[in-house]
Amino acid sequence: MRRRSFIRAGTFSSLAAGTGMASALGAKPLAALATGPGRRTASGDVRLNSNENPLGISPAAKDALVEAIVLANRYPSDQNAALVSKLATAHDVADGQIVLGTGSAEVLQMAVQAFAAPRARLVMADPTYEAIIDYQRTESYELVKVPLTATHEHDLDQMRAAAESSGRPALVYLCNPNNPTATITPSAAIDAWIADAPEHVFFLSDEAYIEYVEDDRMWSSLPWIEKKRNVLVVKTFSKIYGLAGLRLGYGIAHPDTAARLSDFASRNNANQLALAAAAASFQDEALMTKSRIVNQEAKKMVQATLDELGLEHMPTETNFLMHRISGDLATYRGRMAEAGFLVGRDFPPMLDWNRLSFGLPEDMGRFCDTLRQFRQKGWV
């Protein structure tokens, strides 16, 4: 970590060190945090398939939403500017370095569009978060997918060769921690590449899950934006802040890069309610601490159960993990849905692995019992 405050490093370990997790949790029992709506689908299934925060939104965000309803008839420019300033101050950058998006997905889309060029390469891990693949379809990229290493890290040597060998512009997507594998790629190696990379290699650093990371080999790529125009860091309110349904994310970059990106943003893309809830949630230590504690409890329970059942699983630095299944993945998902749990989707080429998002501990307890029954029946 450089001279940055913890918000720039942004990982769980750096935050936990400074905050006193137990006191922030207070006397409130974890069960009381299990607020109902949104925990399940309308049909009563528990949602363990989209890496959402099962706790729901924070009390402060709820109040902010109610207050903001009266602004629904007004365009959100003032509230937009206020949130941008808040984020800029916290990240120690100028307002012009922040670009809001309708979810971080829109920021990824802006980047894919803004940096497209004839015969440019788009280099990404395989598997990784697939939105990038969708967004590049309308552009002229040559898509290069580089398989993860045996330890499920980005294969930076191969990615570098792919990005730099043609001498043409390249957009490199680094999803760290990676979705769907939940694994990290050590930041020292990423930093070494960024330090050396030619200007025509552009780094898109997706840090959607960084607030959950405990492994101190990973940190944010944010310090690079001071010196480098070719680095964009993308963050979201959808994960630890629990606002996936409101759709707000942001990019942070050198002012020139941020300006280029903004040309591809839809006008007034962040709405009043999303802005209000995000402003109320950002850096809410109680919310983040609760989210991490609940996540850890669920994670430990699931890992212990998978070990007990002899089901291989990958290490996780996020709010989900990948575990091996035997048999057909779609059949497994269908049976889990019948038992009331929505899990995973296909992440080729890992078609004998299921991605499981962590829910509330009590739901994960029932999930683990179901998994044991599946094992007894030979279904997994």
Ligand X SMILES: Cc1ncc(COP(=O)(O)O)c(C=O)c1O
Using CB under 6 A as the criterion, which residues of the chain lie in contact with ligand X when the complex forms? Answer: 51, 103-105, 129, 175, 179, 206, 208, 236, 238, 244, 249
Nearer to ligand X, 101 or 361 (CB): 101
CA angle, 267 then 273 then 278, to 5° = 95
Would you say 103 or 169 has its CB closer to ligand X? 103
Cβ–Cβ contacts within 10 Å for residue 200, how many?
16
Comparing CB distances to ligand X, the nearer of 232 and 380 is 232
How far apart are CB 199 and ligand X at their closest, in Å? 25
Q: How far is the CB of 233 from ligand X (least distance, A)?
A: 12
Strands 231-236 and 201-206: parallel
Instruction: Give the C-alpha separation, 349 to 353, whole Å.
Output: 9
Tokens encoding 148:
């993860």
Quote the least distance from Cβ 149 to ligand X, whole Å.
18
Residue positions counted in the chain: 380
Of residues 136 and 236, the one with the C-beta less far from ligand X: 236
Give the residue with the Cβ less far from ligand X, 56 or 103.
103
- Structural contact between residues 141 and 120, judged by C-beta atoms closer than 8 angstroms: yes
- Non-local (6+) Cβ contacts of 63 within 8 A are 280
- Kindly tell me which of 253 and 380 has the beta carbon lying closer to ligand X: 253
According to DSSP, the residues that pair with 323 across neighbouring strands are 313, 354
10 Å CB burial of residue 245 (0-12, 13-18, 19+) is middle
The DSSP secondary structure of 255-278, one letter per residue, reads HHHHHHHHTTSPTT-S-HHHHHHH
Q: Which residue is nearest to ligand X (CB)?
A: 103
- The DSSP 8-state label assigned to residue 31 in this structure reads G
Q: Quote the least distance from Cβ 56 to ligand X, whole Å.
A: 15
- Least distance between ligand X and beta carbon 106 (Å): 7
Q: Considering the complex, what minimum distance in angstroms separates the CB of residue 83 from ligand X? A: 15
